[in-house]
């Protein structure tokens, strides 16, 4: 139990932090000597990682030291109270060549407005693909600038090597909070005199935990960084996928950490599936295989799905068994307008490596289960549940995955993709088990757009998918072998505060009078989304998305917007427009919510959407090893929990033969 929590007291080393808050010289490096992985890093025994050392010599600004960048720094590692050894000796590796670069940054907002950057010269070394096997504490020490030191305490967690589950299905509701689950339950499940007549599938999970989502160097995270924490056990910086952020310009040379998908595949030969309703190169799916400090390198991310990391020494990776989602523009040829890595046609690249390629729901349903499968169903993010099921004319856009500008009318939902992924993973895993990540991406995307109804529709689709997954596993007699986790990567400051009489709202002439339409406390009434039809109560979705009395709902931090608290029937909401093209000065979209109330935003005016929030997010667990996930813990503990349940800890280096897999008992 103790090793599960990462509290970080004993090992905490005092550092003299510069006052940098809005901007930082380099996230997890407050001193002029940087060690990555930094102080307080936890490792799975045998997990591959890179080490990056940097020595900073600020040329000017508040930290200017008047020294040239140090080219003779040294780095030692000591196990426990043992004698420090030079890193090359410790790992039995060569010393890499010294790298040099410079970068610049603003020390605060005043410096930004005055365009006065501080310039920093850097000397650096990177040690690629090392691993720590023996559990316990290590002290890594960088000595630089004539007597300064930076110490990092590293902990290799002491986890049992026994495998407790054959399969893991990790559902991620991107941006999903407990508040959103409460709202979704309210609109989709009937209540009589204060008692729900049915519950969400998530509500029925036996174990509930809470995870803290903050970044390594900021308290609000983005999805790339939080996915890295969930998949690698290492927190990082906003925009990072599977790396710590270094200060060099190259977005691909940052120090990497091995992900759960890579470790599971390397050690067990089990199958990996990746499913998302986002464009598939997006952060949450991408962080399973990509290693870059820039989540915007979409073409590169797609290449790593197929080929792994190719330019820097890294782990073995042969592609997932299943890759389903949107984002066709990173696959089809640039001749059709595709934006691909090195201008290749990635449908062809996947086909060359034995993948069957699917473009629609019909093809998905009839595809054989024994082949590696790429399913790309639209350009950009996939259509939302509400548009696929209620307002179908919104699908009439030029988004065909073929890149031929026809509409992508026959898109599957998260449920169809996930159930098919399970069939393929089960058929291909030949007893070695599987790891599937299935993401309801547009809970987050629609919350960003302040389109609460669509976000809740996506959340309900996630819940419907979970329900269908449990039923399917039961039927396959695989439920007892499968740990199911449902969690999120971060929240949004969303809640429901009452109801809105949309008819009354529309009938008033002033914003002040319109506010009378909002009913709080005893005037909030009951949910009008579920009509009084008892045969309908076990449905997973509202029977009416456009009732007179809607939810008085919203976010904590917004751009300017006009709220009428009604479903957007013409497709996902666009709350703002630019004052003029390219101005990045966002004001209320005059076409949006015309009956509603103008509410001025609190975010910087160049923010066109809502933003993430600090809240802890829930973790629901069911299946073998479920008890590991109760309580309150850090996002990285999800990684360590999954790794322990899959028995992936390795206290000794193993022979890396052709397969590299040892005979697991599953
Ligand atoms: C640091 O030097 C650069 C020129 O090398 C200059 O542009 C910048 O304004 C200086 N920054 C500060 C904080 O003085
Ligand atoms: C390093 O320290 C020594 C002894 O204090 C001093 O003589 C030398 O000038 C220092 N070098 C630098 C680069 O600061
Ligand atoms: C990998 O190396 C090749 C050849 O030097 C280069 O063209 C490509 O841009 C590099 N890609 C990445 C992701 O570093
Ligand atoms: C689905 O994709 C297949 C090719 O994989 C194509 O032949 C078929 O016409 C498509 N069906 C629809 C409904 O788009
Ligand atoms: C789809 O959009 C096109 C162009 O806007 C229009 O001509 C066509 O009638 C629409 N089809 C449907 C089924 O709405
Ligand atoms: C109740 O809902 C079901 C399912 O949509 C529908 O078939 C039935 O006609 C409804 N009954 C009443 C009385 O509205
Ligand atoms: C309030 O929002 C409106 C519409 O976006 C905008 O025109 C106005 O400038 C905003 N007021 C303030 C004080 O930001
Ligand atoms: C939001 O505003 C901040 C501060 O002005 C800016 O740095 C950031 O790029 C904006 N983000 C988005 C998504 O517009
Ligand atoms: Zn987000």
Instruction: Assign 540 a pLDDT band (cuts: 50, 70, 90).
Output: confident
Any known ligand binding at 489?
yes
Residue written as token pair 């029925």: 204
Pick the residue whose CA is nearest to atom 11 on ligand 5: 396
Instruction: For residue 631, report the distance from its CA to the centre of ligand 5, in Å.
Output: 52
Taking CA atoms only, the protein residue closest to ligand 5 atom 5 is 396
Sign, CA torsion 196/201/207/209:
negative
Ligand 8 pocket, residue 337 CB under 6 Å = no
Question: Residues 395-414: what's their mean pLDDT?
Answer: 97
Task: Report the C-alpha gap between 380 and 277 in whole angstroms.
Answer: 10
What is the CA angle 548-550-554, rounded to 5? 150
Predicted confidence at residue 533, as pLDDT, reads: 52
Mean pLDDT for the stretch of residues 29-44: 97
Position in ligand 3 atom list of the atom nearest CA 292:
13
pLDDT on residue 534: 47
pLDDT at 140: 98
Of the listed ligands, the closest to the CA of 58 is 1
Q: What is the mean pLDDT of residues 270-280?
A: 98
Ligand 6 centroid–CA 534 distance in Å is 8
Strand partners, 482: 167
Tokens of 497: 């505060």
pLDDT of 524 > 50? The answer is yes
Tell me the pLDDT tens digit for each residue of 65-94: 888 899 999 999 999 999 999 999 999 999
- Is residue 82 packed enough to be buried (19+ CB in 10 Å), middle (13-18) or exposed (0-12)? exposed
Classify residue 35 as exposed, middle or buried by CB count within 10 Å of its CB (0-12, 13-18, 19+).
Answer: buried
444 annotated as belonging to a binding site for a ligand? yes
Q: What is the pLDDT of residues 292-347, one digit of tens each?
A: 999 999 999 999 999 999 999 899 899 999 999 999 999 999 999 999 999 999 99
Least confident of 428-442, 526-540, 595-609: 526-540
* pLDDT above 70 (res 5): no
Q: Whose CA is nearest to atom 5 of ligand 1?
A: 119
Q: Is 174 annotated as a binding residue?
A: yes
Q: Is 612 annotated as a binding residue?
A: yes
Query: Among the atoms of ligand 6, which is closest to the Cα of residue 533?
Result: 1
For 169-182, what is the mean pLDDT?
98
pLDDT at 12 exceeding the cut of 50: no
Give dist(CA 613, CA 488) in Å, integer: 12
Q: State the burial class of residue 107 (Cβ atoms within 10 Å of its Cβ: 0-12, 13-18, 19+).
A: buried
Alpha carbon nearest to ligand 2 atom 6, residue: 146
* 241 contacts 286 by C-beta, under 8 angstroms: yes
> Does residue 234 have a known ligand-binding role?
no
Q: Is the CB of 367 under 6 A from ligand 4?
A: no
Residue 223 annotated to the active site: yes
- State in Å: Cα 572 to ligand 6 middle: 29
Q: Going from the N-terminus, what domains does the chain have, and what CATH number goes with each?
A: 9-156 (2.60.40.10), 167-494+613-658 (3.40.720.10)
Q: Considering only CA atoms, which of 658, 651, 639, 644 is closest in space to residue 235?
A: 639
> Which is more confident, 54 or 534?
54
Q: Return the pLDDT at 19.
A: 61
Reported as a single tens digit per residue, the pLDDT across 243-262 is: 999 999 999 999 999 999 99
Could you give the percent of the chain with pLDDT greater than 90? 90
142-153 average pLDDT score? 95
Q: What is the pLDDT of residue 655?
A: 57
CA-closest residue to ligand 4 atom 3: 363
Average pLDDT, the chain: 93
pLDDT tens-digit readout, 346-378 = 999 999 999 999 999 999 999 999 999 999 999
Q: Which of 223, 276, 442, 635 is catalytic?
A: 223
């Amino acid at each position: 139990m103790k090793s599960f929590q990462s509290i970080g007291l004993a090992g905490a080393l005092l550092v003299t932090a510069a006052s940098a808050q809005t901007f930082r010289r380099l996230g997890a490096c407050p001193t002029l000597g940087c060690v990555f992985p930094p102080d307080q890093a936890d490792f799975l025994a045998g997990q591959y990682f890179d080490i990056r050392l940097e020595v900073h010599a600020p040329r000017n600004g508040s930290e200017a030291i008047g020294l040239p960048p140090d080219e003779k720094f040294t780095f030692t590692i000591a196990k426990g109270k043992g004698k420090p050894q030079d890193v090359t000796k410790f790992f039995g590796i060569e010393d890499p060549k010294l790298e040099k670069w410079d970068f610049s940054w603003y020390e605060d907002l005043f410096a930004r407005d005055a365009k006065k950057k501080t310039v920093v010269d850097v000397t650096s070394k990177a040690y690629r693909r090392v691993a720590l096997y023996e559990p316990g504490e290590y002290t890594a020490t960088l000595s630089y600038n004539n007597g300064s030191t930076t110490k990092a305490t590293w902990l290799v967690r002491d986890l049992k090597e026994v495998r407790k589950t054959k399969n893991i299905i990790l559902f991620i509701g991107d941006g999903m909070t407990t508040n959103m689950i409460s709202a979704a339950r309210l609109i989709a499940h009937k209540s009589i005199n204060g008692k729900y007549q049915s519950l969400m599938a998530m509500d029925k999970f036996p174990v509930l935990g809470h995870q803290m989502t903050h970044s390594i160097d900021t308290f609000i995270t983005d999805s790339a960084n939080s996915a890295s924490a969930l998949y690698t056990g290492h927190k990082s910086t906003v925009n990072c996928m599977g790396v710590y952020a270094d200060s060099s310009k190259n977005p691909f040379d940052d120090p990497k950490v091995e992900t759960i998908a890579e470790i599971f595949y390397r050690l067990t030969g089990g199958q990996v599936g990746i499913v998302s309703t986002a464009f598939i190169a997006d952060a949450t799916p991408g962080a399973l295989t990509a290693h870059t400090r820039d989540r915007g390198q979409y073409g590169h991310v797609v290449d790593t799905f197929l080929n792994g990391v190719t330019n820097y020494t890294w782990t073995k990776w042969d592609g997932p068994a299943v890759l389903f989602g949107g984002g066709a523009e990173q696959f089809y040829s640039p001749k059709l307008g595709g934006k691909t890595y090195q201008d290749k046609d990635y449908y062809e690249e996947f086909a060359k490596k034995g993948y069957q390629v699917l473009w629609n729901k019909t093809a998905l349903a009839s595809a054989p289960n024994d082949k590696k499968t790429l399913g790309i169903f639209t350009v950009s993010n996939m259509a939302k549940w509400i548009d696929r099921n209620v307002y179908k004319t919104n699908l009439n856009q030029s988004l065909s995955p073929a890149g031929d500008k026809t509409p992508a009318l026959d898109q599957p939902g998260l449920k169809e993709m996930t159930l098919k992924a399970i069939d393929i993973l089960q058929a291909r895993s030949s007893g070695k088990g599987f790891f599937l990540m299935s993401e309801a991406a547009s809970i987050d995307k629609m919350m960003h757009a302040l389109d609460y109804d669509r976000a809740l529709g996506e959340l309900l689709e996630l819940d419907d998918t979970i329900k269908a997954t449990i039923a399917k596993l039961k039927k396959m007699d695989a439920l007892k072998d499968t740990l199911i986790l449902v969690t999120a990567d971060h929240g949004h400051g969303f809640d429901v505060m009452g109801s809105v009489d949309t008819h009354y709202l529309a009938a008033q002439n002033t914003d002040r009078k319109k506010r009378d339409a909002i009913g709080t406390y005893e005037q909030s009434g009951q949910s009008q989304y579920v009509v009084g039809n008892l045969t309908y109560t076990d449905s997973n979705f509202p029977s009416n998305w456009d009732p007179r009395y809607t939810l008085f709902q919203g976010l904590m931090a917004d751009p300017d917007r006009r709220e009428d608290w009604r479903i957007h029937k013409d497709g996902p909401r666009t709350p703002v427009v630019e004052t003029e093209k390219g101005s990045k000065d966002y004001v209320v979209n005059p076409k949006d919510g015309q009956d509603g109330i103008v509410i001025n935003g609190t975010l910087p005016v160049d923010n066109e959407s809502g933003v993430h929030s600090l809240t802890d997010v829930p973790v629901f667990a069911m299946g073998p090893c479920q008890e590991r996930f109760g309580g309150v813990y850090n996002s990285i503990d999800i990684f360590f929990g999954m790794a322990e349940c899959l028995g992936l800890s390795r206290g000794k280096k193993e022979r890396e033969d052709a397969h590299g897999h040892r005979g697991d008992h599953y």
